Amino acid sequence: MNVAFIGLGNMGLPIARNLIRAGHTLTVYNRTRSRAAPLESSGAQIAATPVEAAANAEALITMLADDRAVEAVMFAPGNAIQALRAGAVHVSMSTISVALSRRLAEAHHERRQHYVAATVFGRPDAAAAAKLFVVVAGAPEQIRFCQPLFETVGQKTFVVGEDAPAANVIKLAGNFLITATIEGLAEAIALVRKHGLDQNAFLEFLTGSLFSAPVYRNYGGMLAADKFEPVGFKLPLGFKDNRLLLAAAEEVAVPMPLASLVHDRFVAALAQGLAEADWAAIGHISYQNAGLKEAT
């Protein structure tokens, strides 16, 4: 398939690599051109602008940090939506607001283009291993057309409906559950530590019994060590997702008091200078509140 790929960050770069390895023809664009350079030797064409990237694409994939970045690529003067041909499909893998996803669906429909939201769950190592979980919503025929792309980057695809923004709701709700797990783990570990018990033994018990899911193992290890590197997902991006979640909840009048607590944890973590840490660093605030020193 002739694919345009825009956004080569920590997630986008390994996804693009896997698409090239699978034999797809890629034209890539990234605002910082040096991020695209490693793909050129693998056969990708590097575009100078989003318009150039999108011009001949059957599928345009965006994997960008936030609404502002997506809007700049798709709606700013000289934007990709104008270059994308009628009948082509825009596959948005970015974690964006429900409102922007809805706007994209409408704009593509007006231009006789197609739009599929295909949000992904997994950290950069999962992206590199093509082990992401892909949550997709859009027209069934477009999902079928894009299925080879999803199979290349992920281990399983979940189709959640024909209304594209549904995938964005699922993504925000899922990310909220991850942060709620981080918060719960941090509070539990703070309690165990304050009682003088070994947090690593506690984590071994959790992950060897009722809480064996990867989210407990992976984030639990970070929290038990009170170390939040290497960074798979920067804390400000998690904060952005939390704000998008609360906006989506407000739109349909759904109270989410735990999400509001997590919001305050993000604010406190940023105030403590943790902007460069993994988003799991919100758990460090529970340790501070409990008067705990750095874990040993």
pLDDT for position 77: 83
Prior bond to 230 cis, omega within 30? yes
- Which among 142, 60, 126 has a CA at the least distance from the CA of 134? 126
Mean pLDDT by 10 residues, the chain (296 residues): 97 98 97 93 95 96 97 91 96 98 98 98 97 98 98 98 98 98 98 98 98 96 95 97 98 98 98 97 97 81
Q: Which residues contact 161 (CB under 8 A, 6 or more apart)?
A: 137
- DSSP lists the bridge partners of residue 45 as 27
Residue 171 phi, psi dihedral angles, 5° rounding? -60, -45
Specify whether the CB–CB gap between 195 and 87 falls below 8 A.
Answer: no
171 is catalytic: yes
Give the architecture (CATH level 2) of 2-163.
Answer: 3-Layer(aba) Sandwich (3.40)
pLDDT confidence of residue 296 = 61
Domain boundaries defined on the chain: 2-163, 169-289
Residue among 162, 148, 122 at smallest CA distance from 2: 148
Pick the catalytic residue from 131, 156, 171, 293. 171
| pTM recorded for the entire structure | 0.96
Architecture of domain 169-289: Orthogonal Bundle (1.10)
- What does the alpha-carbon distance between residue 266 and residue 286 come to, in Å, rounded to a whole number? 12
**Residue 249: per-residue pLDDT:** 98
What is d(CA 67, CA 85) in angstroms, rounded to the nearest whole number? 23
Report residue 207 as tokens. 């992950």
Res 294: pLDDT: 76
